Amino acid sequence: MRQRTFDVFLSYNREDRRSVELLAQRLKRKGIVPWLDKWNLIPGTPFQPEIEEALASCLSCAVFIGKSGIGPWQSEEMRAAIQRRVSSTKPFRVIPVLLPGAKRLSEEELPPFLIASTWVDFCGKIGDQNALHQLVCGIKGIQPGKGRSRGDVRTEWVIVLSGTVDEADKARAEAIVDHLRHVSGDATLTMKKVTRGNDNNS
C-alpha cells in the first residue's frame, strides 16, 4: 500500500495543543493536508515509529513554539526534521512558528539551522491572517508576495443573543462561543454582554 503524503508535519509542545489544532483546522480550509498526532496516530500502536514514518511522508515541518518553549519529544522531532532538510536531495522546509505569548529562543536553545530560517510570528493572536498566509506560503514553498489577497481580509461578525440571561443561560452561551472558536479556528473569539448600552466583558 502506498504511503500517504502530507503537506506538513506539525511539531508542538503538548502545552500548546489547542492552539495548534485550531491552526491545523485553518490550514485544512486553505487546502493544506497537515499531519497532527491527535488526528493521525492510531490508538494502541507504538507512536515513535509512526511519527518517524509521518516525518518521512511530509513535504515540510512546522515547529510551533509557545509560552512553554520546546518540549522534550518535540525537540527530537525538530532535530530529525532538520537532519532530513540537510541530507535530503529534495527541498524540505522546517518552518519555526511563534505562537501568541512566545518569545524567540536564543542560539543556545535552538539549532543554528533553525535560527537561520525565516520565522512565522502570530503577533499575539492565533487568528492573525497575515501570519497564516506566511505559514501557508512556507508550507507550499512559494513567495508570500505583498500580503494576503482581498478574499482573505478579516470580517468582524457580531452575534446578538437577546433576553434575560441567568447563570445557566450564560453557560450555554459560553458553550456556543467555544464551539464557534473550534469550527472557525479563531481562538480570539470572545463573548461580551451589553447592559443598558454599556459594552462590558462578561
Helix (H, G, I), strand (E, B) or coil at 145: coil
- Check whether 73 has a pLDDT greater than 80: yes
Q: Phi-psi bin for 124: left (phi > 0), alpha (psi -120 to 50), beta?
A: left
Report long-range pairs for 35-38 (Cβ below 8 Å, ≥24 apart): 35/6, 35/8, 35/9, 35/10, 36/10, 37/10
* Average predicted confidence (pLDDT) for the chain: 80
Cell, residue 9: 508535519
Query: Model confidence over 79-133: pLDDT tens digits?
Result: 889 888 888 778 899 999 999 988 777 666 676 667 778 899 997 789 999 999 9
User: What domains are defined for the chain?
Assistant: 8-152 (3.40.50.10140), 167-201 (no CATH)
pTM score, two decimals? 0.68
pLDDT band for 164, please (50, 70, 90 cuts).
low
- Check whether 202 has a pLDDT greater than 50: no
Contacts of 27 (CB under 8 A, 6+ apart): 7, 8, 34, 132, 135, 136, 139
Side chain identity at residue 106, one-letter code: S
